[in-house]
Amino acid sequence: MKIAVCVKEVPDSGPARKIDPGTKRLDRSGERTLNPFDLNAVEAALRIKEAGGDGEVVLISMGQPKALESIRKALAMGADRAVLVSDDAAAGSDLVATSTVLAKAVEKEGADLVIFGQQASDGDGAVMWAAVADRLKMPVISQISELDVSGGQVKARRQTEHGYDTIETGLPAVLAVSDAVNEPRFASLKGIMGAKKKPQDLLALADVGVDPGAAGEAGSKTTVLNLAPPPSRGDTVKIEDDGSGAQKILEFLVERKFV
């Protein structure tokens, strides 16, 4: 079985995220890492492969060439190879354009199963898997907290506001797993050392059959018109803690009869 795991490099969660006023896009300068939710997707794929005794786990992503540095974390976990679509014409792609590129890359691989993390930590949209599934014309199951794949069938369990759903479908299929589905393994020293030697294909849009006009800003269907700071919250009091911060907060609450 060939399992494609769609992964994404995101800004490190440490520094506050900012929007670049010039490009009106997320500022991706500074430290970057592999999307934490994608680690659960990689772990799910590895467990399916191990349970079956054979197969291949292929990482698929879109981004700048240096995104491979973050993607190697998943290779160190045990994924077999990586495919990164990197093209200047893809810069500024929104959900529509990105899903076009990812779907074509998956299609080129001929994957039997496609797995996503539930969402990306930079956008938190949680809909990319649905868009890719629609383009591939495959069934999709999301919010998966328990997963079993065997005999060409998928059985997944997910929590809802009304209880639990158990959903079954045949392959090929697209799955989106939550962070409750498993505990991602730590990469061994051997895995880390071997990750750089694993195949890492850097492809252009043309290599996956995507016209430049279908990606980037040209292929996007959304446009950011303006940026503005959030409105003032009114009578805001900022307390500098010089050692008496707790007392000042108490006085503030007492004055307004909250305590």
Count other C-beta atoms under 10 Å from residue 162's C-beta.
Answer: 6
Helical segments of the chain, H only: 36-52, 68-77, 95-109, 128-136, 189-195, 216-219, 245-255
Q: Please give the Cα distance from 159 to 169 (Å, whole number).
A: 17
CA dihedral 145→151→153→155, nearest 10 degrees, is -30
Structural domains of the chain in order of their starting residue, each with its CATH number: 2-219 (3.40.50.620)
Q: How many residues does the chain have?
A: 259
Q: Provide CB contacts within 8 A for 219, sequence distance 6+.
A: 93, 96, 97, 100, 213
> What pLDDT score was predicted for residue 236?
75
> What pLDDT score was predicted for residue 95?
92
Q: What is the pTM of this model?
A: 0.84
> What pLDDT score was predicted for residue 177?
97
pLDDT in tens, 3-18: 999 999 998 876 567 7
Tokens of 163: 């209880």
> What pLDDT score was predicted for residue 227?
81
Q: Please give the Cα distance from 237 to 258 (Å, whole number).
A: 15
Distances (CA, A) of 226 to 34, 42, 239: 29, 37, 32
pLDDT in tens, 110-169: 999 999 999 988 877 889 999 999 999 999 999 999 999 999 999 999 988 888 999 999
29-47 burial string, b = 16+ CB within 10 Å, else e? eeebebbebbbbbbbbbbb
Residues of the chain under the 70 pLDDT cut? 14-16, 27, 30, 234
- Please tell me whether the peptide bond between 172 and the residue prior to it is cis, using omega within 30 degrees of 0: yes
Cα 26 to the center of its chain, rounded Å: 15
Q: Please give the Cα distance from 78 to 6 (Å, whole number).
A: 15
